[in-house]
Structure 1
Amino acid sequence: MWTREQPERTRWLVQTKIHPPLPRDDTIPRPRLLSALHEGLTSCRLTLLSAPAGYGKTTLLSALPAAYPSLPLAWLMLDEDDNDLALFTAYLITALHRLSPDCVATSYSLLTELANPGAETRRVIGVLINDILHSFPDHFGLIIEDLHRVDEPIIYATLDYLLEHLPPQMHLVITARYDPPLSLPRLRARRDLCELRTGDLRFTLSESAALLNDTLRLNLSPDDLIAIQERTEGWPVGLALLAGSLSNIPTPTGRSDFIAHLAHTDRYVFDFLADEVLNRQPPELRTFMLKTSILSELNPALCRAVTGRDDTAAMLETLERRSLFVTPADPSRSTFRYHPLFAEFLRHRLACEMPEQVTDLHRRAAQAQAVPDRAIGHYLAAEMWETAAQVIEQEGGRLLHQGLLDTLTTWIRALPNPVHDAHPRLLYLAGACAWRKDDWEAARPLLQRALRAFEDCGDEAGADEALADLATCALLQTDFGRADTLIRQALSRSIPLHSRVQLLMGRAWLKLMIGGWAQAAKDLDAALSVTRNSTDSQALHTLALYLGHLLVALPGGLESVEHFCRRATTHLSPSGLSRLAIEGQMTFIHFWRGRLDAALQAGDVALAISTRLGGYPSWDVDIAVVLGTIHAARGEYATADHFFDLMRRQIERIALDEPLTIAYLYPLGRARWLQGRMEEARRVYAQMEAATGPLDLPFSPMLRTTMRGLLEIADRHYTAAEKSLLQATQMERAMPPAAIFGSPRLLLACLRLEQDRPQDALAELEPLLAECERDGTPGRIFQQGAAAVPVLRLAAEHSDHAPFAAHLLDLLGATGEIRPTPIPETGATLTSRETEILRLLATGATNRAIAEQLV
């Protein structure tokens, strides 16, 4: 669950990448640029610092917090390893969490619950935007440094989406060596873009003089300063390199001679000056710089491992003291970074001067790295394929769980094919990544190869995982025959708990769709049983997402699912997907139990969570149909229409197969019938009749027949209606889950009463009342709305379950004075209300007209 502390699942992220860089003591004040930055941060969506390496972009930004301490800033420094959309998004949210711990709770919950967050990043960013909009009270800036280090188009598309919908209190600052492929022309046209480019970032002559003479006290002549300015063109890193060389020349004449030589050299000024700086260092320091250039960050432990020296802390202090292009990466100044341009130069020199040592240096770095992802990078750079494969195998499960599928796939592809063949788990991880990205064609052969390889080497645990994923693939591809076989095989093995839950629930739904009620009930019970005492959040999350209203109607389903939902709320995120699933399920359970106010409240909570998460039509449609049914049954037709309209919109969004729409069309058709909107009810019935196909649900014929019976009642074709409802009643007995739609037996009882056969009506109704009272499911009868009132009034006077019938009347808002009326041939009586209803029916009044007079 979310806390003010950084979430456990993001603590593996490199924390120094979300800390602002500390300004150097010798930084030259640049108030004109800081003012321009501040202006951009307060008036534009995006401030872009676009210039080649060495133009002081990071140095300038590092001075911003001190210059404007009241402006909150979040920071993210990118590197090449961030070329994974899921990883990029995790860093983005974590950077904002550091700025305001409470503001990104919903977006973090969503990010951690998605199996493939990279595929739904627009949704995550949308939720993040809403989090910021409602949780950040003040203007703030998010600084993203070195955007050029990532080249994945989807990352830029995500940033474009963020910029297009940026909350008004948020402002982005991006640094890059060249213009990123963002919608800059559109932002520029809207005056939403502040740009600082090479010409802006160059040192002016006065700034160069301030650095060289005022700060470093080199006492250069005006002519020397002009010569330097012309040769370096105000390039900050060139000036810094030059200052390092000049500070080692003791005489003014020597400095002038050096400047003159620089002015006439044809070499690239950086290479010339970097060589000068490097070659002027003591041999031990020079070697230290070359060897440590392979590190993304420098700290004493890593430097000790790479160089073999025990004085690495002192060496790092020397680098900082001599201004040798290192920047503190944390407030304690225990970790440093080389300037990117200088690091590239050092690595090039290392490859030229010590090529035979590069592999060993990467090996040492990898073995000392506390961050596994960086260790893998070093092993791959050293072409230590076997060791890299072993570490990838160890870390692969974590990356799968975190949704870093692109990163994991990139690592595996970097290994030679023979290494894949020798490591079945690499094949499995590649296949697992593929199916999570819905690439079934790639996933299946990889998982099959992995399964065979695991079996050949006797790795039962690996074979179990591969088999479980193959079964899931078959299920998701609707290859039901193959899925059934694979699920049976997988469940007989020792697969992980979350996989067992997924397969049990998958098979429960599979059996439900083909009428295998007994097996579906067993699988549901098994899934609930294995999680009953578990705190495994992944297994609980999986079970929550697989629950559905039809499963509740299975034998024993209601009590066990309700118990699970109540327990799961203490272990799962309060605002994520699993909570949406739980609240959606409780909406139906409360309704089924007759707790109508609780159902409406849970439904509102669920829809609000769905909205915060960017909308989940597959859950929204189930919630909407329950809420619409409740309001229609209570005669609140305008509100019911609102929810049924939502239901239809969501069905269109998810492009539901036509046969599957019948489960939603029937409640809509019944609501229209209750309202007396018969033409609309007939149109719904026509849609139900047309919605046939290979995926036709087992209870679809019952729903079509019941709907036909309702229309026949409306048309006073009572003989035909009786025949239809008798057929529907026979069908109902063969399929327990159909109970969620109400019972045709109740409608048959209503028809008997309308035919002036009250004894037959009671005979039909009594068993249903007994079942619902025993099971605690008044919602099964309640959903028939005003149509049920006459027979319920009859039962309230003459049934063995009179109190329960009275309770149902109360739920329907149809309680009132009951004055008996005799029932012919029995000596029993009907109330005046029932007599009035029968009188209205006899005059041809619509159900809507009857309902309006009843409630």
Structure 2
Amino acid sequence: MHPSLITRERGLSLLDRALEHKLTLVSSPAGFGKTTLARQWVAERSQQSHFPPIAWVSLDGGDNDPVRFWRYLITACQVFRDSVAREALALLQSISQPPFEASLTETAITIFLNGLAQCEQGGILLLDDYHAITSPRIQQTMTFFLAHLPASIHIIILTRSDPPFSLAQLRASNELYDVRTSDLRFSQEETSAFFQQTLPIPLAPEIVRRINTYLEGWAAGLRLLLIALRESTTPREIEPLLSAFAGGQLALQDYFLTEVFHMQSESLQRFLLQTSVLDRLTGSLCAVITGERDSERMLETVAHANLFLEPLGCSTFDQSSTQQWYRYHGLFAETMRTEARRRLGEESLRTISAHASRWYEAHHLHAEAISSALYAQDYPRAAALIERILREPQAYYQANEYHTWHTWLEQLPDTLLAQYPALCLGYARALLFRADSWLLTQTTLTLLEKLFQMAEESYRVERDLPRLGEVFAFRSLAAWRQDDAIQAAYYARQALAWLAEEQHTWRALSLGVVGKAELLYNGHVDISRKVLEEAYALCEASDHRHLRLRRATGNMLSRAFFEQGELYRSFEYYQRTLHKAREEYAHSDDLAYALFGLARISYEHNELETAWQQAEEVLGIGLSLEKEFHEVQATLLLARIQHVRGETAAARQRLDALLARIPATQSNPTWPLAREILTLRANLALADGDLVTVQRWITALDRPGGLLFPFMAEQEVLLLARWHLVQGRRETALQLLQDLLREAQAAGRRRSIFEAQALLALVYAAHGQQEQAQQTLLTLLAHTYTEGYLRLFLDEGEAMAVLLRSLQLHRHEQPFLSSLQSIIRAFPSSQGTLPPSPVALLPEPLSSQELRVLHLLVPGRSNAEIARELLVSINTVRTHIQHIYRKLDAHNRAEAIEIARQLHLLS
């Protein structure tokens, strides 16, 4: 321990309580001894055999990149257990990041958390200078990390201000322990002990009291005062010193210069000024920039002179080096840099940074080499170094540090960027994935287009078509971010024409854009399925490299299967995506899309409780993310379930409450969502007999089905057809449905075909066209019975039930027959009425005499025996049997008897 340090048992005991809590927050302004106390605590407690291992991470402003932040943190935690970070680091460092998402840090964090859970001894992770972290993305991931932290791991954060992530939940559950400024202030006893230990002549108690009153227990002030008191120990000499210290930070900076800095030798002053531009210092680096060969000894001298130089060790910054690393205390460093600019000049400081950049490059510290080159305004060198990150696989992971990437590239002149098309795309990537919202600002769009143009011109000159394909794939992504699906698909198709087969990332991305546009915007289900299957195969073959892209493509492919009417295959892919999303801690968007897809399938299978639970989870995600799309889709499904359960009033209230938050004006971006709400609201009103509400819906729409996504438009057309059917305008309803069927069949929208066919059968039945109604329904059943459809039929009510029962008169093979009977059994019994008799279900009921003949056929009676039993002629019996065959659609006795049994005509 440094001679000027005293053992602060009170402070050490406060930090001991970190083992009782998930998070310990040590928060105070600069200079209150947070880091010093923590280092003392670590040094002392580490000697105890039973004490958990401690990982220390010192942070600065350059660590605001999420990938870099977590890489440092995970690496430090290897002291807990050798293998704790291996898999997570491999993921961060080897992933060829798709431009489809900003980072895969969530996945790495989940893997890391799993590793931490295996640490038998537990561990303590200490984050110093956390106030330097301002990235919202890092705060989000820290919130998740703390929420899922194993009980055996404890976090200590040293900071000048409280972190921006929520602490309320941690406080409420007693998982947070606060150490504040008042806890860190030196007591009068500690102040007295400090000076007794460090001064050759003891101070009078009254002077100690006055010092403590002036400085209010400020540790940095005590250290500064100590330097001055070595020459001044009388009350008269001490008085002006105390007055200077009461003047605040500017006065302290003056004191740093006059009483600390100027008291040093000329060579040491020059050393301090030259090295002040460095964030972290080590002997060989200082030797390069100062020309001082014995810089290692110089650093040790500065440290022993108590000139605010803090040791960092070597593990945090450069594990391959055995040299000691240091950094200056923040207040001292600020003062020295200001003085260096005044005395040495900016040009000299830039020269120093240029030397530092070359040293960093030689020691494979790429980020530091680039930052120093940029400070030196050596932009060609900086550009070349940045491009090297793209070329060298071992450094490629740094290309995914978007915050860092953006900070570097925005400093390069356009004339230089134009010479490096790869940097133009790197800059574009950083702009896309640092944006706070999905929609990009006009300023960002303008800059993106300039970057795309520079890259395109360069690659066209080089005739590098694969790279040109990357430019257009990027353009496609930017257009999609602006909800311009047509332009996005155009760029994606052009990209696919140029991209090489081995450019899997870009091909998968471009195929995904084309597939999504074809599905959602054009409604071409068959085309989209084929394209999405190809994209998904590329993602599957890439293992870890395209996790988010694979999940997004998997969700969209599942939707394509759903729209093709393949419920079980859709379920399989949604379930696979959901499993991966939970396993990899996917972005909640992916969870929500997969869950909602499964909820729709559960609803279609009439598994209402499961559908309700899934939709509720989607709603929770939507509300937490403030994503209106998820909130609306989940609410629509919940309202449908309420209606099915007979809670129509509650369902309509739910929709009205949602409409109050979603503006229903055509100029608003949420208009398509509001229109979906209005359509379901009108559907429920129609089922409830509220024709006035439906009429208002029709009047309010410019044209039902117009200027909408195909699937949304079809829902409006179906509702309009129902409205005309209720109003007795059956021909109009018929025409609407036939037009819908024709368009849906051309595009492969089989689920839409099924919905139209179900309603079409009811229109035919209402026309008295029983045979056409039955044939339409038989066609529908033939395509759906293997997929477990129930709500498709149940939602059409009793009219559909009657029509389905009439189909039992036809000959059916298993398992078709079982499926038909399952659908019929799923219908609720009509309230207040008995179900229709089996005979009434027949298009032409059997007469009482024909029923008698039918009963006598069962035991195998001959025509003559039946004639004798009924006292009629044999010819009359033959006539009755022919009538029975015709009415039951049977060809012989065996078939007639089997159909009669199915219709319960023999009971």
TM over 0.5: yes
- Equivalents in 2 of 1:484, 1:648: separation in Å? 32
**Aligned 8 A contact 2:705 2:714 in 1:** no
Q: Residue 493 of structure 2 aligns to a residue in which SS?
A: helix
Where in structure 1 are there 5+ consecutive unaligned residues? 1-21, 148-155, 176-193, 836-855
- Equivalents in 1 of 2:243, 2:712: separation in Å? 88
Residue 813 (structure 2) pairs with residue 823 (structure 1): no
Deviation digits for residues 714-758 of structure 1 (CA, Å, limit 9, x no counterpart)? 345555544554454445434433625852221232244455553
Deviation digits for residues 141-170 of structure 1 (CA, Å, limit 9, x no counterpart)? 9745356xxxxxxxx9x93x8479985458
From 416, 426, 429, give the equivalent of 1:429. Answer: 426
- Equivalents in 2 of 1:807, 1:24: separation in Å? 86
1:547 counterpart residue number: 556
- Equivalents in 2 of 1:529, 1:203: separation in Å? 64
Q: Residue 28 of structure 2 aligns to a residue in which SS?
A: strand
**Count of residue pairs the alignment pairs up:** 758
- Equivalents in 2 of 1:304, 1:131: separation in Å? 41
1:187 counterpart residue number: none
Q: Which piece of structure 1 moves more, 773-782 or 786-795?
A: 773-782
From 466, 471, 490, give the equivalent of 1:466. Answer: 471
- Equivalents in 2 of 1:47, 1:772: separation in Å? 63
- Equivalents in 1 of 2:631, 2:275: separation in Å? 55
**Aligned 8 A contact 1:432 1:447 in 2:** no
From 503, 510, 513, give the equivalent of 2:517. Answer: 510
- Equivalents in 1 of 2:900, 2:669: separation in Å? 46
Deviation digits for residues 541-581 of structure 1 (CA, Å, limit 9, x no counterpart)? 46348627763355597676545434444544444332332
Q: Residue 422 of structure 1 aligns to a residue in which SS?
A: coil
Q: Residue 743 of structure 1 aligns to a residue in which SS?
A: helix
AA aligned to 1:343 is: A
Deviation digits for residues 326-380 of structure 1 (CA, Å, limit 9, x no counterpart)? 3344698965432123334555676757948614542244226665433322222
1:807 counterpart residue number: 822
From 493, 497, 509, give the equivalent of 1:492. Answer: 497
Q: How does 1:395-434 map to 2 (within 5 A)?
A: 395=389, 398=397, 401=400, 403-404=402-403, 407-434=404-431
Q: Residue 337 of structure 1 aligns to a residue in which SS?
A: strand
**Aligned 8 A contact 1:23 1:59 in 2:** no
Deviation digits for residues 410-445 of structure 1 (CA, Å, limit 9, x no counterpart)? 322223343223222232233333344312222112
Q: Residue 560 of structure 2 aligns to a residue in which SS?
A: helix
Q: Which piece of structure 1 moves more, 395-404 or 135-144?
A: 135-144
1:444 counterpart residue number: 449
Residue 442 (structure 2) pairs with residue 382 (structure 1): no
- Equivalents in 1 of 2:186, 2:428: separation in Å? 53
**Aligned 8 A contact 2:282 2:326 in 1:** yes
- Equivalents in 2 of 1:336, 1:467: separation in Å? 47
Residue 576 (structure 2) pairs with residue 576 (structure 1): no
1:211 counterpart residue number: 194
How far 1:490 sits from its partner (Å)? 0.2
Residues 528 and 669 from structure 1, CA distance in 2 versus in 1: closer, same or farther, beyond 3 angstroms?
A: farther
How far 1:500 sits from its partner (Å)? 2.8
- Equivalents in 1 of 2:425, 2:140: separation in Å? 33
AA aligned to 1:537 is: H
**Aligned 8 A contact 2:370 2:385 in 1:** yes
Residue 536 (structure 2) pairs with residue 528 (structure 1): yes
Q: Which piece of structure 1 moves more, 90-99 or 767-776?
A: 90-99
- Equivalents in 1 of 2:26, 2:428: separation in Å? 41
Q: How does 1:575-724 map to 2 (within 5 A)?
A: 575-577=585-587, 578-592=590-604, 599-611=611-623, 613-630=624-641, 632-633=643-644, 635=646, 637=648, 644=655, 648=659, 652=663, 656=669, 658=671, 665-688=678-701, 695-698=707-710, 702-718=714-730, 720-724=732-736
1:839 counterpart residue number: none
Residues 727 and 809 from structure 1, CA distance in 2 versus in 1: closer, same or farther, beyond 3 angstroms?
A: same
1:26 counterpart residue number: 5
Residue 329 (structure 2) pairs with residue 339 (structure 1): yes
How far 1:98 sits from its partner (Å)? 12
From 752, 758, 768, give the equivalent of 1:746. Answer: 758
Which one has a bigger Cα radius of gyration? 2
Q: Residue 473 of structure 2 aligns to a residue in which SS?
A: helix
- Equivalents in 2 of 1:639, 1:758: separation in Å? 37
**Aligned 8 A contact 1:590 1:596 in 2:** yes
**Aligned 8 A contact 1:46 1:173 in 2:** yes
Q: Residue 430 of structure 2 aligns to a residue in which SS?
A: helix
AA aligned to 1:520 is: S
How far 1:583 sits from its partner (Å)? 2.2
How far 1:470 sits from its partner (Å)? 1.4
Q: Residue 531 of structure 1 aligns to a residue in which SS?
A: helix
How far 1:709 sits from its partner (Å)? 2.7
**Aligned 8 A contact 2:663 2:670 in 1:** no
How far 1:447 sits from its partner (Å)? 0.9
- Equivalents in 1 of 2:382, 2:480: separation in Å? 33
Q: Which piece of structure 1 moves more, 617-626 or 125-134?
A: 125-134
How far 1:781 sits from its partner (Å)? 3.7
- Equivalents in 2 of 1:364, 1:517: separation in Å? 56
How far 1:391 sits from its partner (Å)? 3.1
1:838 counterpart residue number: none
How far 1:392 sits from its partner (Å)? 2.8
Residues 346 and 661 from structure 1, CA distance in 2 versus in 1: closer, same or farther, beyond 3 angstroms?
A: closer
**Aligned 8 A contact 1:712 1:720 in 2:** yes
- Equivalents in 2 of 1:276, 1:174: separation in Å? 39
Residues 585 and 349 from structure 1, CA distance in 2 versus in 1: closer, same or farther, beyond 3 angstroms?
A: same
Q: Which piece of structure 1 moves more, 595-604 or 449-458?
A: 595-604
1:49 counterpart residue number: 28
**Aligned 8 A contact 1:634 1:812 in 2:** no
How far 1:770 sits from its partner (Å)? 0.6
Q: Which piece of structure 1 moves more, 811-820 or 384-393?
A: 811-820
1:279 counterpart residue number: 265
Residues 832 and 219 from structure 1, CA distance in 2 versus in 1: closer, same or farther, beyond 3 angstroms?
A: farther
Residue identity (%): 21
- Equivalents in 2 of 1:541, 1:820: separation in Å? 55
1:325 counterpart residue number: 308
Q: Residue 268 of structure 1 aligns to a residue in which SS?
A: helix
**Aligned 8 A contact 2:511 2:532 in 1:** yes
1:268 counterpart residue number: 254
Deviation digits for residues 310-340 of structure 1 (CA, Å, limit 9, x no counterpart)? 9887776665555442334469896543212
How far 1:762 sits from its partner (Å)? 0.9
- Equivalents in 1 of 2:213, 2:142: separation in Å? 47
AA aligned to 1:393 is: E
Answer 1 or 2: higher relative contact order, Cα 8 Å, separation at least 6: 1
Q: Which piece of structure 1 moves more, 224-233 or 715-724?
A: 224-233
From 252, 255, 280, give the equivalent of 1:297. Answer: 280
Residues 203 and 137 from structure 1, CA distance in 2 versus in 1: closer, same or farther, beyond 3 angstroms?
A: closer
- Equivalents in 2 of 1:740, 1:649: separation in Å? 30
AA aligned to 1:618 is: F
- Equivalents in 1 of 2:681, 2:791: separation in Å? 16
Deviation digits for residues 587-629 of structure 1 (CA, Å, limit 9, x no counterpart)? 3344456666654454344444445x53433234334434544
